[in-house]
């Protein structure tokens, strides 16, 4: 996925379904007195957590033009060295 598509996806909002799944899972766990079996499908929970983490980790800040130019220059130099 390119950057602009990722930005569009990020702007659409928080993955609400994943938040609801995690909240419901915690309610079931607490209501059960700590019985881990009450949590349900742990793989589904893990995937929801991964999606929320990915959403949180992608917090676009300001664009660092100098860093981008350094990376482009490095790629260009690497390309010119190859036969």
**Model confidence pLDDT, tens digit, residues 44-63:** 999 999 988 888 877 666 67
The pTM of the full predicted model, rounded to 2 decimals, is: 0.59
Q: What percent of the chain has pLDDT over 90?
A: 41
Q: How many domains does the chain divide into?
A: 1
What is the pLDDT of the chain when averaged over all its residues? Answer: 85
pLDDT tens-digit series, residues 32-49:
998 999 999 999 999 999
Q: What is the pLDDT of residue 58?
A: 76
46: left (phi over 0), alpha (psi -120 to 50) or beta: alpha
DSSP state of 38: G
Query: For residue 47, what are the domain limits?
Result: 3-81
């Amino acid at each position: 996925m390119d950057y602009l598509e990722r930005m569009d996806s990020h702007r659409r909002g928080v993955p609400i379904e994943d938040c609801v799944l995690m909240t419901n899972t915690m309610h079931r766990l607490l209501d059960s007195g700590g019985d881990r079996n009450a949590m349900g499908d742990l793989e589904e929970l893990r995937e929801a957590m991964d999606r929320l983490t990915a959403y949180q980790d992608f917090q676009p800040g300001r664009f660092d033009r100098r860093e981008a130019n350094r990376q482009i220059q490095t790629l260009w130099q690497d390309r010119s060295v190859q036969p």
